[in-house]
């Protein structure tokens, strides 16, 4: 396990990588570079990149059965999430997360620019009074099915065709964002949204941030398609980082995704709005 320390110098260097500067900020000879393996893959601009982030307890829970998810992550886990937001173009959540938590999805626990906020809202449930629609922050994009009535709400609306089961395709969602030059994406929640992007083999890196608490019951952070045998379980390359109050498992899913994309029978995983 590697301990990670993010100094002001290193963070400014990472932000310069995020901006795609020809000459990134030069580091001093004695710079503490322990954070580079964790954050540099997100900051570098090299085409489409999808990061999924889960903050959970030791027993894999993201909230209590009543839905209380506040303070699941420690202070350093929250700072890590906000750093991830600051290094991407857009952050994606399902409308269920907006209804349950009313997040702002901005960068507050780290210096940097907030990302564009994207809400997958298949059936048009986006609350008019949602915080992100009224905080004067970064633009909000709502993605819904093309057979749902369009509503004015001070945000951009993207309409996509429903698939056979009435849901939206994660691949179509990423394509629509890429058309708007939003190529680096953080898929933040909820569990169904993250799981569908993983099942679709579209996630390059998965960060599982574990906080030393035991909730005992409640929803899990990831719910993938069921498997019958452990031999079918995914075993990505993993690096483990001690970031202070939390431990981050950095799972490299890119190789697995590339192999799956090469299979002729690979099916597109469908996207609902129940996150």
User: Tell me, what's the pLDDT at 264?
Assistant: 58
20 pLDDT above the threshold of 80: no
Measure the CA–CA gap between 173 and 73, rounded to whole angstroms: 28
Q: Is the pLDDT of residue 269 over 70?
A: no
Identify each DSSP E strand in 230-274 by its residue range.
237-242, 247-252
What lies within 8 Å, CB to CB, of 148 at 6+ separation is 122, 123, 124, 159
Q: Spell 24-51 as b/e; 16+ CB within 10 A means b.
A: beeeeeeeeebbbebbbbbbbeeeebbb
Per-residue pLDDT at 70 exceeds 90: no
Predicted pLDDT of residue 23: 63
Query: If DSSP codes are grouped into helix, strand and coil, which group holds residue 42?
Result: helix
Per-residue tokens: 213:
């608490």
* Residue 67 vs residues 53, 96, 131: alpha-carbon distances, Å: 18, 12, 18
* pLDDT of res. 69: 87
Q: Which helix (H) or strand (E) holds 147?
A: none
Catalogue all structural domains in the chain, each as residue range(s) with its CATH number. 46-224+233-261 (3.40.430.10)
Q: Are 59 and 25 in contact (CB under 8 A)?
A: no
CA–CA separation, 163 vs 173, rounded Å? 12
Top-confidence residue, 67 or 215: 215
User: How many CA atoms lie within 13 Å of 213's alpha carbon, on the beta-carbon side?
Assistant: 19
Q: Which two tokens stand for residue 225?
A: 């398609």
At residue 88 the predicted structure's pLDDT band, cuts being 50, 70 and 90, is very high
Say which residue the tokens 């564009």 belong to: 116
**To which residue do tokens 């749902």 refer?**
148
> Using CA atoms, how far apart are residues 114 and 258, in angstroms rounded to an integer?
30
Indicate the SS3 state at residue 154: coil
CA distances from 76 to 79, 82, 126, 241 (A): 5, 10, 30, 12
Tell me the whole-structure pTM to 2 decimals: 0.90
pLDDT in tens, 167-220: 899 999 999 999 999 999 999 988 999 999 999 999 999 999 999 999 999 999
Mean pLDDT of the chain: 90
Rounded-to-integer distance, Cα 186 and Cα 93, Å:
9
């Amino acid at each position: 396990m590697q301990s990670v320390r993010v100094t002001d110098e290193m963070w400014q260097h990472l932000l310069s990588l995020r901006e795609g500067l020809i000459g990134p900020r030069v580091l001093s000879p004695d710079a503490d570079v322990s954070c580079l393996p964790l954050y540099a893959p997100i900051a570098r601009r090299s085409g489409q990149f999808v990061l999924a982030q889960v903050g959970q307890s030791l027993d894999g829970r993201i909230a209590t059965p009543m839905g209380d998810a506040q303070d699941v992550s420690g202070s350093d886990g929250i700072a890590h999430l906000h750093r991830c937001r600051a290094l991407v173009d857009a952050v994606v959540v399902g409308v269920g997360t907006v209804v349950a938590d009313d997040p702002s999805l901005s960068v507050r626990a780290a210096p940097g620019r907030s990302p564009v906020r994207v809400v997958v809202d298949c059936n048009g449930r986006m609350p008019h009074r949602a915080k992100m629609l009224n905080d004067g922050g970064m633009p909000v994009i709502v993605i819904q099915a093309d057979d749902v009535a369009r509503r004015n709400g001070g945000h951009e609306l993207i309409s996509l065709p429903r698939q056979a089961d009435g849901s939206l395709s994660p691949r179509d969602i990423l394509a629509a964002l890429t058309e708007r030059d939003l190529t680096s994406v953080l898929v933040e929640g909820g569990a169904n949204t993250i799981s569908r992007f993983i099942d679709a083999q579209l996630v390059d890196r998965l960060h599982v941030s574990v906080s030393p608490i035991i909730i005992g019951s409640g929803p899990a952070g990831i719910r993938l398609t069921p498997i019958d045998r452990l031999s079918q379980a995914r075993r990505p390359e993993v690096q483990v980082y001690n970031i202070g109050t939390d431990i981050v498992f950095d799972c490299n899913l890119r190789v697995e995704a590339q192999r799956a994309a090469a299979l002729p029978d690979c099916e597109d995983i469908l996207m609902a709005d129940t996150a």
